[in-house]
Amino acid sequence: MNFKFSNLRLISQRLNRTGTTGREAIINLLSVLGIAFGVIALIVILSVMNGFQSGYINTIMEVSSGHIRLTGNYDDLKRASEKPNCKSFFIFTESQALMQGSHDRQSGALVRAVETEDFLKDAGLVRRLVFTEGGLNLEKSRSVILGYELAKTLAVNAGDEVFLPILAGSVETDIFSDDTALTVVGIFKTGFLAIDSSLAFVSMETGRTLFGTVTKANAFVKLNKDSDDYKYIAQMKIDFPEIQCESWRTYNHAFFGALRVEKNVMMILVVLIFLVVSVNIYNGMRRTIYERREDIAVLASLGMKKETLRFLFFLNGFKIGLIGAVSGLLIGLLMAKNINGIFALVEQVINFFVSLATHIIYSVDQISETGHFSIFNRRVFYMDSVPSAITFFECCYIALFGVISSSLAALIATKKILNLKPQEILRHE
């Protein structure tokens, strides 16, 4: 007996209708929620990890490293800067120093001396430096701009003086020089704590005063495409063989590799969630099929093929996966887009209950200032806010994975029960 599509639809509706109440309904609901939770978790985690990765990379590229780092003679670097095949090129020298601010407060710092004109031409760098005080003005001799956290540690503001009691310079400079007073003309913030807490900029003229006259210098090159780094290095080796070239892929290899490992580990953990959910769907579907074995036997005795029966239960698993994946996708995208607001709300709720519990346990006179609970600690993650970067293809892959895992679990669950003969099933009823 051949079953038409309309008949299959009616039978499928009949079989699924029996699972809308009671224990089967709970099993189906838990399966949908499991798939949705897995999709939500994976989307939020991947979007945050992508945001961290892109945020770190962009900030480091624009402020701290560039795409290519060159080392060589100052005159050679000056001639290399005239090549037109790059977005920006600025020469610098740098030195580690111990910086002293107000009230004898001290902190280590990386003092970078730059060509002011080339420095201001770097649009990406200038855009990343958000000034909280003062501005990007290094024209005056012995002026310096500091990272926000560095200025905070030293307890200085724009207009104050800082000193460099210990400076790693050349043989021409005194490591304990007395003439190292600098005037703070600006305080910048990049949102990347590792930079904001250690980096300071001075003009090349001030740098020569501090470091002495150096023959060797460095340069950061920013390309129009970061994928052109090897091509640029190959050309530089031909035109300027005396200049050492190093790609961002090399000197940031360990850091970016660590980010990639963290992302992969998080993906593995969330994939395990899908596996657990798939096992739950498998067990639930097997139980459902077993409880409907009489209906299955009747349909089989009327001529319905095993493949058709399997397809019907496959559709049920597909529906569970589709509903869970779509709902999880929508909620996950909404959460990923508003992750900072969600974290702030959770922090407020937790801190409210902590404060309430403190007032209940202790008298008013005994209450001391308690630590503020924070999900996202900027001193741990080195950023002001939780970044989020959502990619279309990753979202599609996640949703598809949720649908496939549910469908396969349902398909595997039908294998054993549908191999039973109708007369065997009916005999035991």
Least confident of 93-102, 206-215, 326-335, 341-350: 206-215
Instruction: Give 35 or 367, the one with higher predicted confidence.
Output: 35
Residues 397-407: tens digit of each pLDDT: 888 888 888 88
Return the pLDDT at 326: 92
Return the pLDDT at 171: 42
Return the pLDDT at 383: 62
Return the pLDDT at 271: 75
Phi, psi for residue 215 in degrees, rounded to 5: -85, -30
Question: How far is residue 165's CA from residue 201's CA, in Å, rounded to a whole number?
Answer: 17
Quote the mean pLDDT of the chain: 78
Instruction: Give 39 or 417, the one with higher predicted confidence.
Output: 39
Torsion angle (degrees, nearest 10) of CA 143, 149, 152, 154: -60
Return the pLDDT at 330: 93
Q: Is the pLDDT of residue 195 over 70?
A: yes
Residue 400 is encoded by which pair of tokens?
A: 């598809």
Q: Is the pLDDT of residue 172 over 50?
A: no
Q: Is the pLDDT of residue 178 over 70?
A: no
Range 160-166 average pLDDT: 87
Residue 226 is encoded by which pair of tokens?
A: 């970061």
Residues 261-300: tens digit of each pLDDT: 877 787 787 778 777 777 777 777 777 667 766 766 776 6
Return the pLDDT at 382: 58
Return the pLDDT at 35: 84
DSSP 168: -
Instruction: Give 256 or 172, the one with higher predicted confidence.
Output: 256
Task: Provide, rounded to the nearest whole percent, the portion of the chain with pLDDT above 90.
Answer: 10
Question: Could you tell me the pLDDT band of residue 343, with boundaries at 50, 70 and 90?
Answer: confident
Structural contact between residues 66 and 248, judged by C-beta atoms closer than 8 angstroms: yes
Question: How far is residue 50's CA from residue 75's CA, in Å, rounded to a whole number?
Answer: 40
Q: Is the pLDDT of residue 151 over 90?
A: yes
Q: Is the pLDDT of residue 202 over 70?
A: yes
Return the pLDDT at 369: 47
Instruction: Give 129 or 259, the one with higher predicted confidence.
Output: 129
Range 237-256 average pLDDT: 82
**Quick one: angle between helices 392-417 and 306-337, nearest 10?**
150
Q: What is the total residue count of the chain? A: 429
Residue 7 is encoded by which pair of tokens?
A: 């008949």
Q: Is the pLDDT of residue 174 over 90?
A: no
Return the pLDDT at 381: 59
Task: Provide, rounded to the nearest whole percent, the portion of the chain with pLDDT above 70.
Answer: 79
Question: Could you tell me the pLDDT band of residue 156, with boundaries at 50, 70 and 90?
Answer: very high
Residues 351-398: tens digit of each pLDDT: 888 777 777 776 544 444 445 667 666 655 556 677 778 788 888 888
Return the pLDDT at 14: 56
Return the pLDDT at 421: 61
Residues 51-94: tens digit of each pLDDT: 877 777 777 778 877 888 898 888 888 888 887 778 888 888 88
Residue 205 is encoded by which pair of tokens?
A: 């003229």
Question: Could you tell me the pLDDT band of residue 13, with boundaries at 50, 70 and 90?
Answer: low
Instruction: Give 26 or 14, the one with higher predicted confidence.
Output: 26
Q: Is the pLDDT of residue 181 over 90?
A: no
DSSP count for the chain of H helices, then E strands: 17, 10
Question: How far is residue 345's CA from residue 356's CA, in Å, rounded to a whole number?
Answer: 16
